[in-house]
């Protein structure tokens, strides 16, 4: 029997601003998935939060894009929204952009990443959850971990990995339909770089292993402003990455995050800051950020999850957190000038556009 790992997350309201969901919301989400386990819809589930987002990790046998699983996630977020409203929390129901569920959460606000797999004798995997950024935040670390021997020493040292990996990349600006391209390393290396250099436009959707055809990774691709046509919060993506044996090791998958790379997000979704790798259940703070990412490692066996290992809760990452703070402070010192703030096409609030329109009327052409 095949096992499906589904991670679906949403911001349905938070305490003290856009900071974290309340304990009552988390308890409600736990209650909903526990009921689904009791009924046999899920074989196991976990609830976590990263910043203001609740992530549902659900294990089942129904495959990806299953309407029952997606409805469970949607109904859970409707229920946590009701709690948020009853507590007077901020941004209640923020990521639920449609009134009624229609078969799949994709295109409705929540982010989702799913992999269906034949369990290996040991099936280790990592769930990444990021807050205050777009799905392109995974471009750099996923590409580096799967394609660059600087991070993935297995590409040189493990013979079974030498054939490389295939990347499916989505054009997230194409809102009418999924526009995707499939490219391989090593042969298409520069073409992949050409796309991934623009993480607000082209986003890794999945990674498969060339030698076996097995799927190694999946990440969410939704961009909320492309769904609603206006800013309703940043996308705050999730990703699932299988590790070890013919896939990169867990440590190789984590390695690129040590850069604390710059990404677009943070306050009002409109600033470039360095991504900070954080412990599970971390909150949002400085300048409505910084952009954060958590990593939980699990094994799944016959549909049951082990406890999580909190992969960024280790002294090594304290240094990276300090580095991320320093990089963020460094670019924040530049305020709104140049690359510190998003370019016109990615500005998430309309104030600048309105101001420019108003000022445009006051410009005069100087006569020579
Ligand atoms: C970023 C984010 C926050 C808000 C900011 C203003 O994704 O959620 O930075 O954009 O706190 O929020 P509103 O407009 O809700 O007052
Ligand atoms: Mg969020
Ligand atoms: Mg939010």
Parse the chain into domains and list their residue ranges: 2-354
Q: Which residues surround the ion ligand 2 when the cut-off is CB under 5 Å?
A: 11, 51-53, 131, 236
Q: Checking phi first, is residue 15 left (phi over 0); if not, alpha (psi -120 to 50) or beta?
A: beta
Percent above pLDDT 90 for the chain = 89
The verdict on the CB of residue 269 being under 6 Å from ligand 1 is yes
Span from the CA of 18 to the centroid of ligand 1 (angstroms): 6
The verdict on the CB of residue 13 being under 6 Å from ligand 1 is no
Span from the CA of 8 to the centroid of ligand 3 (angstroms): 15
Helix, strand, coil percentages, rounded to 5, for the chain: 35, 25, 40
| 298 classed as catalytic | no
Based on the number of CB atoms within 10 Å of its own CB, is 355 exposed (0-12), middle (13-18) or buried (19 or more)?
exposed
Q: Is the pLDDT of residue 224 over 80?
A: no
The verdict on the CB of residue 233 being under 6 Å from ligand 1 is yes
Q: Which one from 231, 245, 313, 323 is the annotated catalytic residue?
A: 231
For helices 67-86 and 23-39, what crossing angle results, to 10°? Answer: 150
Most confident of 103-112, 218-227, 280-289: 280-289
Span from the CA of 3 to the centroid of ligand 2 (angstroms): 28
User: Looking at residue 1, what is its pLDDT?
Assistant: 81
231-263 tens-digit pLDDT: 666 789 999 999 999 999 999 999 999 999 999
Q: Is the pLDDT of residue 336 over 90?
A: yes
Span from the CA of 223 to the centroid of ligand 1 (angstroms): 16
Contact between residue 213 and residue 199 where contact means Cβ atoms under 8 Å apart: no
Q: Which one from 28, 132, 234, 327 is the annotated catalytic residue?
A: 234
> How confident is the model over 216-226, as a mean pLDDT?
86
Q: Is the pLDDT of residue 267 over 90?
A: yes
The verdict on the CB of residue 244 being under 6 Å from ligand 1 is no
User: Looking at residue 231, what is its pLDDT?
Assistant: 65
Task: For the beta carbon of residue 234, count every other beta carbon within 10 angstroms.
Answer: 32
Task: Give how far Cα 216 sits from Cα of 38, 64, 121, 129, 302, Å.
Answer: 29, 15, 16, 17, 19
Q: Which atom of ligand 1 is nearest to the CA of 288?
A: 9
The verdict on the CB of residue 268 being under 6 Å from ligand 1 is yes
Question: Which residue in 188, 95, 87 sits closest to 146, CA to CA?
Answer: 188
Residue ID of nearest Cα to ligand 1 atom 1: 268
| 234 classed as catalytic | yes
Task: For the beta carbon of residue 51, count every other beta carbon within 10 angstroms.
Answer: 29
User: Looking at residue 228, what is its pLDDT?
Assistant: 67
76-102 burial: b if 16+ Cβ within 10 Å, else e: bbebbbbbbeeeebebbbbbbbeeebe
| 231 classed as catalytic | yes
Q: Which atom of ligand 1 is nearest to the CA of 52?
A: 8
Residue ID of nearest Cα to ligand 1 atom 2: 268
Question: What's the first-to-final CA gap in the chain, in angstroms?
Answer: 79
pTM above 0.95, yes or no: yes
Q: Is the pLDDT of residue 125 over 90?
A: yes
The mean of the pLDDT values for the chain is 95
The verdict on the CB of residue 234 being under 6 Å from ligand 1 is yes
Span from the CA of 186 to the centroid of ligand 2 (angstroms): 35
User: Looking at residue 222, what is its pLDDT?
Assistant: 80
User: Looking at residue 114, what is its pLDDT?
Assistant: 98
Beta strands in the chain (DSSP E): 3-10, 44-50, 53-60, 111-117, 124-131, 165-171, 180-184, 202-209, 215-219, 238-242, 262-265, 271-274, 276-278, 292-301, 304-305, 309-310
The verdict on the CB of residue 267 being under 6 Å from ligand 1 is yes
Q: Which atom of ligand 1 is nearest to the CA of 17?
A: 11
The verdict on the CB of residue 18 being under 6 Å from ligand 1 is yes
Span from the CA of 11 to the centroid of ligand 2 (angstroms): 5
User: Looking at residue 106, what is its pLDDT?
Assistant: 87
Query: In whole angstroms, what is the distance from residue 299 CA to residue 99 CA?
Result: 36
Task: Give how far Cα 305 sits from Cα of 5, 6, 309, Å.
Answer: 10, 13, 11
């Amino acid at each position: 029997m095949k096992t499906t790992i589904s991670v679906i997350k949403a911001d349905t309201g938070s305490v003290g601003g856009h900071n974290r969901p309340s304990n009552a919301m988390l308890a409600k989400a736990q209650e909903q998935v526990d009921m689904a386990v009791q009924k046999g819809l899920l074989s196991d589930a976990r609830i976590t939060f990263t910043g203001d987002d609740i992530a549902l990790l659900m294990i089942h046998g129904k495959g990806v894009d299953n309407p029952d699983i997606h409805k469970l996630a949607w109904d859970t977020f409707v229920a946590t929204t009701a709690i948020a409203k009853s507590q007077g929390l901020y941004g209640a129901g923020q990521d639920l952009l449609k009134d009624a569920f229609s078969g799949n959460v994709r295109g409705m606000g929540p982010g989702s990443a799913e992999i269906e797999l034949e369990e290996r004798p040991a099936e280790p995997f990592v769930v990444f959850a990021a807050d205050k950024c777009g799905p392109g935040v995974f471009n750099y670390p996923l590409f580096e971990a799967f394609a660059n021997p600087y991070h993935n020493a297995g590409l040189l040292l493990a013979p079974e990995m030498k054939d490389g990996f295939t990347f499916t990349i989505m054009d997230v600006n194409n809102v009418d339909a999924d526009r995707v391209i499939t490219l391989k390393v090593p042969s298409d290396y520069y073409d992949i770089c050409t796309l991934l250099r623009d993480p607000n436009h082209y986003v890794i959707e999945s990674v498969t292993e060339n030698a076996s055809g097995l799927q190694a990774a999946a990440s969410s691709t939704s961009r909320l402003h492309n769904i609603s046509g206006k800013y309703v919060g940043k996308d705050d993506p999730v990703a699932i990455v299988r590790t070890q044996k013919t896939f990169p090791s867990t440590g190789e998958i984590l390695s690129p995050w040590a850069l604390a790379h710059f990404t677009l997000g943070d306050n009002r979704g409109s600033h470039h800051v360095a991504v900070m790798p954080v412990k599970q259940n971390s909150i949002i703070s400085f300048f409505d950020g910084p952009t954060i990412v958590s990593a939980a490692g699990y094994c799944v066996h016959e549909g049951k999850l082990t406890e999580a290992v909190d992969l960024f809760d280790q002294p090594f990452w304290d240094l990276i957190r300090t580095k991320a703070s320093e990089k963020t402070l460094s670019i924040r010192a530049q305020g709104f000038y140049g690359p510190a703030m998003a370019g016109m096409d990615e500005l998430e609030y309309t104030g600048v556009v309105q101001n420019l329109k108003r000022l445009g009327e006051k410009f005069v052409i100087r006569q020579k």
